[in-house]
Amino acid sequence: MLRQQRAREEWVIVLDYLHHGYAEDSRPFHMKEPIVQAIGRDHFTLFEIVPNTGILLKASDEIYIGEGKRDKVRYIKGILPAEKLTQTAKTELPFIIEKLVSANEKCFVDFFNNAGAVSLRSHQLELLPGIGRKHTAEVLEERKRKAFTSFADIKKRVPAVPDPKKAIVQRILDELEEKDRFRLFVRV
């Protein structure tokens, strides 16, 4: 049986920096280590990271976690389930995801241009919040005429569709919270 390889992240964006670790950590103060909660820039994987000594980080900082020299990371503790995010991280998450989606607009517009069927009865576009069968049919019809070039182009040519960028952002948030078994954007 082939094992699916985990999506590799090279860069993450800090959601929260806990200088003294988790408050619920019952170890003595001198044994606690700082914790960074972060999200991967490419596959939206949530991470728990221990930074190098003396490194101070803030929300939205980008740090390298790929192969080779990591100047700000001592080690990666592991993948972080969404329910373990701090309140600060939960608050930052939608803003960070929106920035990532905006920065990679072409990739997400290409999703609208190339999305296919999930099954005989449903389509990947239908998995986006606010886009049902009727909107999906309109998008498919319009993309036959000409490929979409931007979120604004999608909204202009298919005005009944809710804001496509917001739909993508909400879908990513839903996938992180595992609200659906299908994964369109979040890779683990």
- CATH (one of 3.40.1190.10, 2.40.50.140, 1.10.10.10, 3.40.50.620) for 11-86: 2.40.50.140
Q: What is the pLDDT, as a whole number, of residue 6?
A: 60
Q: Fold for domain 104-176?
A: DNA polymerase; domain 1 (1.10.150)
Q: What is the pLDDT, as a whole number, of residue 103?
A: 96
Q: What is the pLDDT, as a whole number, of residue 186?
A: 92
Q: For the chain, which ranges sit under pLDDT 50?
A: 1-4
Q: What is the pLDDT, as a whole number, of residue 21?
A: 85
Among residues 101, 103, 100, 118, the alpha carbon closest in space to that of 168 is found at 101
Q: What is the pLDDT of residues 81-104, one digit of tens each?
A: 999 999 999 999 999 999 999 999
Q: What is the pLDDT, as a whole number, of residue 37?
A: 97
State how far the alpha carbon of 84 is from the alpha carbons of 62, 73, 126, in Å: 21, 20, 29
Among residues 32, 17, 34, 131, the alpha carbon closest in space to that of 75 is found at 34
Domain ranges in the chain?
11-86, 104-176
The answer to whether domain 11-86 and domain 104-176 are alike in fold is: no
Q: What is the pLDDT, as a whole number, of residue 49?
A: 96
